[in-house]
Structure formats: structure tokens, C-alpha cells
Structure 1
Amino acid sequence: MKIQYKHEEVLQYWVGLLDADGSIQCNHWRKKELQYRIVIKMRREYTAMLETIRLHVGGIVRFCGKNDVILVEDHQRKIWKLLQIFDRYPPLTTRVQCQIAFLKECRSRNDVEWMLQNRQNRYYNRDAIRNMIVARDIQSLDYFPIWCSGFIEGEGCFLITSDRRVLEKNTIQSFSIAQKNDKFLIESIKKYFGGTNRIRCLKNEIFVWKVYKRDVLKNIIAHHSKYGLLGKKNLQLKSFVNVFIKKDLMLNKSL
């Protein structure tokens, strides 16, 4: 299910991954000048995927700590070019959109003291940004399918649970995806895949959609056969699909 994406499609995937595991940061150098960077941080197993994305968006891939790897762009001129990608394929989380707005304001003011005084308030406009995103009818966006795969790479989980004491046909499969604050986004993903069950709200405003229904799982599998995953989660998906097919065969034989 691993697919060779074209350049523009990799950019769409990158935006989805950034919404899941990235951040747009504003900092300073010795309180003399502002510095900006765009970062995606993941486990080291995703190094090959980040290297592939780097060929299209630029930046540097480097290890961070014992277990993590980052794709980072901190060249100031190149960052402004990456912001142009967001004009074509706007991020869909309020978190990243607030970070973009804050970066643009910092760039406009070019004032280190203002940045230091206001960076704790960079999410103050979250409700207005949420309304703006929702008004766009997310599911109808032409880049949503590939964005969704990138987002699932970071936030999705394909789970197989089984008991060796029971028959393989009783293996339970599920897909889940979560996001903090942005229930509307999880709702859009649920509708896109044809889900009808309830989205749960955990502590700290984390919204989770978990689905077991096989018709919906089929839709999710069909989506990824067209818009594949580029990282380690593709291996998780392959195992998930193999079990799904075997279970279908066993269920059909029992009819």
C-alpha cells in the first residue's frame, strides 16, 4: 500500500503530518533578533520517511535524544517559501494555524520584546480560527485525502487484539485517531470514512474516534490503497489488512 506520490502530493502529506506531529516556532538569539523554525518530531523509526519528505520540502533530518528524529527548517528565507505552501494547502488544526498567525505577526513587528511578552497568548484567537476552518467544508478540500493520510501517519492507530485461546475469526480489529481541542477535525475524518459512532472526549480536551465496524474499516483500507502511508505505520496497516482479509475468508466459509 506504499504509493509513490508526486511532488505536490508530498507537500499535502507533509501538511497533514505537520498538523499531527509538527510545530512552527518563534524564538530569539540573545534577545537581539528573532528566529523561526518549522519542526516535525517523531520516533527514529520514521527517519526514512522524513528523509523522503525532506527531498521535497527541504530542511535537515537529524537525531534528537535517544529515540527521536526531527525534520527541521530554520533557514529564515526558506521558511517564508514554506509558508507559501500553507497558502495552497492550509493546515487544518487550530494549533498550527495559531502558530502561523503568531509567526507572521512576529515577522511583521520584528520586535523581540513583543514576541517574549505575547508568545504565551498565541492561541488566544483559537475560536475564530476554528470557525474559519469549519466554514471551509474540510471534507470537500481537494487536498484533504492526502492530508488525511499524513495526519493518520502521526495520529492514527491500526489495532489488532486477539486471544490465542480462541479462533482467529474472533480477532478484534479497530482503528482510532485522536486530537486535542479540535473535535470538528475528528468529526470530519469520521464522516469522511462513513463512521456513525460517538467521538469520546478524554481529559484535557482530547477527542478520540475509535471504530470496530467492518464496513467502516473497509472504507479506511480502501482509502489507503489509493492514498498510502509513507512511514512505519504502513507496516502496521499491512498487518491490519492481512488479518482483515483472513477474517473475511473465515467468515464467508462459515456462512
Structure 2
Amino acid sequence: MKNNDDYIKKFWVGLLDGDGSMQVNHWRSTNTQYRLMIKLKNNRGNYNMLTTIQKVMGGNVKLTKGDQFVTWVVNDKKEIMKMIKIFDNNPLLTSNKNAQLEFLKENMKRNDMNWYFLNRNNKFDNQERNQKMISDYLKTFDKNKDYTYFDIWFSGFSEAKSCFSIRQNSNHSFSMSQKNDKYLLEFIKNYFNIANSIRVIKNKKVDNKNMFYLLEVYKKDILLNMINHFNNNPTLGNKYESFKKLSLIFMNKN
């Protein structure tokens, strides 16, 4: 898969959806600057994954904060304009990243510093609208066409948002959490025929506008289905190591 450019591009969208950012900043209040970035804990798997993405997508990979983190970053406006065209056929599926993308594109179109300063703190005001838009889009998915994209997107998103848990009591699990976008976990739940309910994660910082949701899977046959998914659509970073351990446990038992 690391030699498949199309796979890397779709995987990159999922990873960006989960652990990336699309930024619009300013230089001395005179002009806008643009940046796409994915920042991960520095380890061999994540470093190799981001350098693989760099070869296909462009950008630069560097270590930051005393080598604690590895970062893929693009600052060139022309490169960014080419990259975001990928979203036309491979859409972002979180409301947060769609809001960032809208703000970035609008600034590129307007090139107006006054508009930037007036609106930079309001880019997430349309969160509910974006959630409904993406939720409606997911309902129209064509299994013969769109699910190929979703499979790869899900693996990229899982690299950022999932956890493979291996426990001594053999109560192993796969879990995924998400802020606000419950519709996305509901789609994933239905896609993998998961019976577990989506839970709200209680946190002192949680309010009516920011809810954290958790989907966790323990059932053996569902875990086997998910192992099959990741065998066909592998994660490419450090998450692959924990997946491989869980997969080997199930192989040895069966």
C-alpha cells in the first residue's frame, strides 16, 4: 500500500481528518499565510508514515519540541491549493475540518485582511450545519463506489482516533472517540454491524456545544471483521504495531 499513490492520498484525508489542521495565519497583519499540518508523537512508525505521505503529497517532515513530535507540514500556498482539490472527490468527514477548509478557501478567494480579522474567531459557528451536511452525504453513499474510499479513509482516521486494547483477561477491544460528530460514529457503528451503544464521555470540560463520544467493540466476531478490514486496508503508522499484536492473538486462538 505504501507504493499505491491513490491509497496514500485517501489515507492522508482520513489522517488529516483525525489528527491534522488547516490553518490561516497572518504575517504582521499585512498578509495571510496558509498551512496544512499533521503532528504526531515521534516514533519509528509515525515517522516512516509521514515520510511516505511526503513522497506522494509533498510538504516537509521535521522533528519538533526536542524530537518529541514528528510533523508533516506544507506552507506553500500553491501546493496547498493543489492538495485541497483532492477533497472534491475524497471529502473530509468531520465538521471541524470542513469548517477549517471553508475558512481557508474563503480567505484564498477574498485575500482580504479585514475580512480575516473579522471572521477568524467565527469559523466554527456553522458546526451544526456542517454536521447535517456530512450526515446527509453519508446517507447517500453508493456501496459500489464510495465504500472503497470510506474503507481507506477509515484506516487513516483510525491511525489518529482509535485504540487497540490488549488485556490480560482476554477482554480485548477496539475503540474510537470523537468530539461532537456523533453522526460519524453512528455511521461506523452501522457499517461494521456493531451492537454496542455510543457512550458520552463525561468530562468537566464537556458542555452542550462540545460533547465527546466513544464507540468500543469487544465482541469477538466484530473484532474479527475489523481485523479483516485492517488487513485489507492497513494503517501505516505506529497504530499498525498494536493492531498486529491484537491480530496475532486472534490468529493463535483460532
Deviation at 1:116, TM superposition (A): 2.0
Alignment of 1:183-194 (within 5 A): 183-194=182-193
CA distance in 1, matches of 2:220, 2:105: 45
Provide the identity percentage: 39
> Which is worse superposed, 106-115 or 132-141?
132-141
2:237 pairs, out of 231, 237, 248, with 231
Match of 1:97 in 2: 98
Q: Is the 8 A contact 1:175 1:210 kept in 2?
A: yes
Match of 2:54 in 1: 54
Q: What one-letter code is carried by the residue in structure 2 that aligns with 1:41?
A: K
CA distance in 2, matches of 1:42, 1:117: 31
Deviation at 1:247, TM superposition (A): 3.2
Match of 1:176 in 2: 175
Match of 1:155 in 2: 161
Q: Is the 8 A contact 1:157 1:175 kept in 2?
A: yes
Match of 1:77 in 2: 78
In the alignment, structure 2 segments of 5+ residues that lack a partner are none
Deviation at 1:232, TM superposition (A): 1.1
Count, aligned residues: 239
Match of 1:165 in 2: none
CA distance in 2, matches of 1:83, 1:24: 10
Q: RMSD between aligned alpha carbons?
A: 1.3
CA distance in 2, matches of 1:225, 1:77: 36
Match of 1:40 in 2: 38
Deviation at 1:5, TM superposition (A): 5.0
**Residues 88 and 75 (structure 1 numbering): CA distance in 2 closer, same or farther, change over 3 Å?**
same
CA distance in 1, matches of 2:190, 2:2: 27
Equivalent residue of 2:193, what SS? coil
TM-score (norm. length: structure 1) = 0.90
CA distance in 1, matches of 2:164, 2:84: 32
TM-score (norm. length: structure 2) = 0.90
User: Which has the larger helix fraction?
Assistant: 1
Q: Is the 8 A contact 2:2 2:8 kept in 1?
A: no
Equivalent residue of 1:136, what SS? helix
Match of 1:251 in 2: none
Equivalent residue of 2:35, what SS? strand
Q: Which has the larger radius of gyration?
A: 1
Deviation at 1:157, TM superposition (A): 0.5
Match of 1:241 in 2: 247
Match of 2:134 in 1: 133
Match of 2:112 in 1: 111
Structure 1 segments, 4+ long, off by >2 Å, are 137-142, 245-248
Q: Is the 8 A contact 1:194 1:219 kept in 2?
A: no
Q: What one-letter code is carried by the residue in structure 2 that aligns with 1:243?
A: I
**Residues 4 and 72 (structure 1 numbering): CA distance in 2 closer, same or farther, change over 3 Å?**
closer
In the alignment, structure 1 segments of 5+ residues that lack a partner are 163-169, 249-255
Deviation at 1:189, TM superposition (A): 1.3
Deviation at 1:196, TM superposition (A): 1.2
Match of 1:198 in 2: 197
CA distance in 2, matches of 1:190, 1:227: 18
1:108-150 per-residue CA deviation (whole Å, 9 max, x = no partner) reads 2212232122111101111111111111226642410000000
Q: Is the 8 A contact 2:2 2:52 kept in 1?
A: no
